[in-house]
Structure 1
Amino acid sequence: MIESQQNGKVKHWSKLKRRKDRMKSNTFLIEGEHLIEEALKSNWIVKELIVLENYNTDWLQQEKVVTTVVSDKIFATLANTENPQGIMAEIEMREEKIQPHFQKVIMLDAIQDPGNAGTIVRTADALGFDAVLFGKGTVDLYNEKVIRATQGSLFHIPVITGDLEDWVYTLKKDGFIVWATALENAQRLEENKPPEKVAVLFGNEGSGVQQELLQLADHRVYIPIKGQAESLNVSIASGIIMYYLQQ
């Protein structure tokens, strides 16, 4: 059992709280039985399990994964949840690419709230979308709050990070119609028939989709608001539009 903060593994796992160190090692941490179960079912590479002493690993007996036991103190320094379940895992990142069979894609332009980003990934997974593209300025996919908000959907749907402008050109060449959410010079959502191949741009919580990307979009759409609310949360808006596109 590891009890020292100076242990090499503990130092390595602690560094994975920082994005730059995650990128260096090409790994990230997840916490809790549900997320680990989803990672294992989805054939992601689980490099190592980190468990508390006396943690019951019976449900993992058929999984051949290196397991390291740590003390309560060590686990507490690594955990991000208020009531840890006693198990974490180091996961290897997986590089995803846009595939020829994709027909419905979500693009996130500088979405900074991890809860919003993770919820959009979860919703895209639930509604059968093919991928979510994280553009520049969007929160890191492997941020622990993003991971928790996906509720395991991170392991079910390709999430790709890169340049949205390049992707828009690539997708258009492949026959995609690009929608962007906007409040000005936009049509009501229901005035636009769902295309066979569609990519939807959702913008920053405060400033919306940047102008350069708006100009590249084929259509600008908005969701009419009937009540007194000034606007919709971006993850809620994305869910409404994704559901509409199922028609």
Structure 2
Amino acid sequence: MHKTIHSTQNTLIKQLVQLKDKSRERRKSEQFLIEGKRELSLAIKGSYVIETLLFYPNLFSESEAKSLEKNGVEIIEISQEVFQKLAYRSTTEGVIAVAKAKPHQLSDITFNTESPLILVAEAPEKPGNIGALLRTADAANVDAVIIANPKTDLYNPNIIRSSVGCVFTKSIATGTTSEILSFLKQNGIHIFCAALQASQDYHKQDYTNPTAIVVGAEATGLSDDWLQHSTQNIIIPMQGEIDSMNVSVAAGILIFEAVRQRRINE
């Protein structure tokens, strides 16, 4: 027999609201919330430990919930009021899970190919942009995504939502710029920095060797450390009136050029 919670004043529900809203709470407890069927299935595929499953029976069936019970997951039925209190999205499927966070350390990244392709983003500010970068990385099937000097934790609800759950299935690490530079050098990875200074057109480079495409924040660009250690700075020639584009769009153009070159060389 599973538990039921009908009150938004319940102690557990109050704790889960904190998990949803506060990065500090997610870091302290090493837990986070997953909302939605697809996101939950991707988290399970990505070997995340699901600790608790909360479901609103009008939207998510009891049999669906119980299918996870065999994995030692605590199942809790909740009222519509409780679900709305916990839900980040207005249109969702009546299921919220509490999962255990992963450490996302550089040392955990392993490459299954001799010529890995990596996307690095330095200090991306908007969770929506991070989610879009992760979707781009998933679409191109890059080997890893590395976030330098992150401004938010990877389990921000907006990152999970905007990545459509890709945050759970891609190999992702975080670290300081200097740690990531050391990691790339140790692994013999060529560093291509999207930057205006001393740059060449992106399509004139060779990305068939082990490659990291590095993008910075739209407002500030990349820090000097990246520019000093760059194999080559690259630029996307602009055809219009403005001199920059959304970071996830730029990353998509650069990453898919690398993918195109690798396909030709297969």
| TM-score, normalised relative to structure 1 | 0.93
C-alpha displacement of 1:230: 2.9
How far apart, CA to CA, are the structure 2 residues paired with 1:75 and 1:230?
Answer: 44
How far apart, CA to CA, are the structure 1 residues paired with 2:91 and 2:32?
Answer: 20
Establish whether residue 220 from structure 1 lines up as the match of residue 228 from structure 2: no
Establish whether residue 77 from structure 1 lines up as the match of residue 85 from structure 2: yes
Alignment partner, residue 167 of structure 1? 180
Correspondences of 1:37-186 after superposition (within 5 Å): 37-54=41-58, 55-64=60-69, 65-96=73-104, 97-101=108-112, 103-186=116-199
C-alpha displacement of 1:233: 0.7
What value does the CA root-mean-square deviation take over the aligned residues?
Answer: 1.7
How far apart, CA to CA, are the structure 2 residues paired with 1:221 and 1:107?
Answer: 14
Contact 1:108 / 1:133 at 8 angstroms: preserved in 2?
yes
How far apart, CA to CA, are the structure 2 residues paired with 1:183 and 1:176?
Answer: 21
Contact 2:88 / 2:157 at 8 angstroms: preserved in 1?
yes
1:35 aligned to which of 39, 42, 60: 39
Cα shift readout 1:175-202 (whole Å, capped 9, x = no counterpart): 1101111012111001211141011211
How far apart, CA to CA, are the structure 2 residues paired with 1:235 and 1:113?
Answer: 11
Query: Larger % of helix: which?
Result: 2
Structure 1, gaps ≥5 residues long? none
Structure 2, gaps ≥5 residues long? 262-266
1:4 aligned to which of 7, 28, 39: 7
Alignment partner, residue 237 of structure 1? 250
C-alpha displacement of 1:28: 0.6
C-alpha displacement of 1:100: 4.8
Contact 1:203 / 1:209 at 8 angstroms: preserved in 2?
yes
How far apart, CA to CA, are the structure 1 residues paired with 2:40 and 2:8?
Answer: 24
Instruction: Indicate the SS of the match to 1:180.
Output: strand
Contact 2:6 / 2:79 at 8 angstroms: preserved in 1?
yes
Cα shift readout 1:174-233 (whole Å, capped 9, x = no counterpart): 211011110121110012111410112110121111122211211100111223343211
Contact 2:45 / 2:169 at 8 angstroms: preserved in 1?
no
Contact 2:65 / 2:75 at 8 angstroms: preserved in 1?
no
